[in-house]
Amino acid sequence: MAGAAQQPLPIVVLISGHGSNLEAIIEANRRSELPVDIRAVICNRPDAGGIEISRQAGIETRIIDHTRYADRAGFDAALQTAIDAYNPGLVVLAGFMRILTPGFVDHYRGRLINIHPSLLPEFPGLNTHQRALDAGRQVAGATVHFVTAETDGGPAFLQVQVAVQENDTAETLAERVLQHEHRLYPEAIRRVAEGRIALDEKDRVLCDGIPLETACLLEPDVASGT
Ligand code: GRF
């Protein structure tokens, strides 16, 4: 609505690695293209590169090392307590490499999203790029989806397509897809933050109030011609 100031959506971002998607989210937020308040970044690996990105940005950064917990349930309980202290409207998995327990996933139902580097439902899990190449795919990509107990299986709502090139290896393809993830994830989060995307009680994604049949496609990037 014109003139109505929108409150930024409080989010917590979970990472395990390089944090390049986190960086893309931070940058989009800085450019005022993403109406979120990044309350905290939580990382399960003390040596992850993304920790420095988060600290440099002045974001509250916590490390919860999963190896210090006897089991998955213990780690997830500690993680949940830490997240809930920030009262987020959305929890963003950005390269968070842990399988989450059903209880944790249920607790954040409709406010937990993930990015996966394939055109889901194809190639869930690991080694997605090599599997796409082995299957002879000419188009690869990435998907943002709500998280359910099924790994990489929750309702998808935004995808980006990336052309496979003849001489691609899993590494070159991964690198190119990752560049597009950096456009995709901020845009997906923006749509949730603006209330345009939501999960209904039947696990359907509503886009502007209408159930989505399939995930939307992000427009090609005019600048790079992709
Ligand atoms: C990305 O490819 C993401 O899709 C996958 O893990 C990778 C994380 O990269 N889930 P980064 O840590 O954001 O650089």
**In the structure encoding, which two tokens stand for residue 56, read together?**
């440099």
Assigned CATH class of 115-226: alpha beta
Q: Which residues does 19 contact at the CB level (< 8 Å), separation at least 6? A: 48, 49, 50, 51, 53, 54, 94, 95
- Select from 54, 93, 115, 123 the residue to mutate for testing ligand 1; criterion: most ligand atoms less than 8 Å from CB: 115
Specify the pLDDT at position 3: 47
221 confidence band (pLDDT: 50, 70, 90): confident
Specify the pLDDT at position 223: 57
Specify the pLDDT at position 222: 61
For helices 20-30 and 170-193, angle between their N-to-C axes, nearest 10 degrees = 40
For 22: left if phi > 0, alpha if psi spans -120 to 50, otherwise beta; the answer is alpha
219 confidence band (pLDDT: 50, 70, 90): confident
Q: Whose CA is nearest to atom 9 of ligand 1?
A: 95
CA 191 to chain centre: 13
- Select from 181, 182, 183, 184 the residue to mutate for testing ligand 1; criterion: most ligand atoms less than 8 Å from CB: 181
The mean predicted confidence, pLDDT, of the chain is 95
Q: Whose CA is nearest to atom 14 of ligand 1?
A: 20
**In the structure encoding, which two tokens stand for residue 44, read together?**
């399960």
Amino acid at the residue 159: Q
Domain residue limits, the chain = 7-108, 115-226
Beta carbon of 19 within 6 Å of any ligand 1 atom: yes
* CATH number assigned to the domain covering 7-108: 3.40.50.170
Please determine whether the domains at 7-108 and 115-226 fall in the same fold group of CATH.
Answer: yes
Mean pLDDT of the region 13-27: 98
Pairing of β 90-93 and β 112-116: parallel
Q: Which amino acids are annotated catalytic?
A: 116
Q: Give, for 126, the enclosing helix (H) or strand (E).
A: none
Q: What angle do CA 45, 48, 54 make, to 5 degrees?
A: 110
Residues 162-202 have pLDDT tens digits of 999 999 999 999 999 999 999 999 999 999 999 999 999 99
Specify the pLDDT at position 4: 56
Residues 67-112 have pLDDT tens digits of 999 999 999 999 999 999 999 999 999 999 999 999 999 999 999 9
Specify the pLDDT at position 1: 47
> Which atom of ligand 1 is closest in space to residue 174's alpha carbon?
2
Mean pLDDT of the region 121-142: 97
With contact defined as beta carbons under 8 Å apart, do 76 and 103 qualify?
yes
Residues 203-218 have pLDDT tens digits of 999 999 999 999 999 9
With contact defined as beta carbons under 8 Å apart, do 88 and 39 qualify?
yes
Amino acid at the residue 124: P
pLDDT tops 80 at residue 51: yes
Specify the pLDDT at position 5: 62
With contact defined as beta carbons under 8 Å apart, do 146 and 155 qualify?
yes
According to DSSP, the residues that pair with 97 across neighbouring strands are none
Output the pTM of the full model: 0.95
6 confidence band (pLDDT: 50, 70, 90): confident
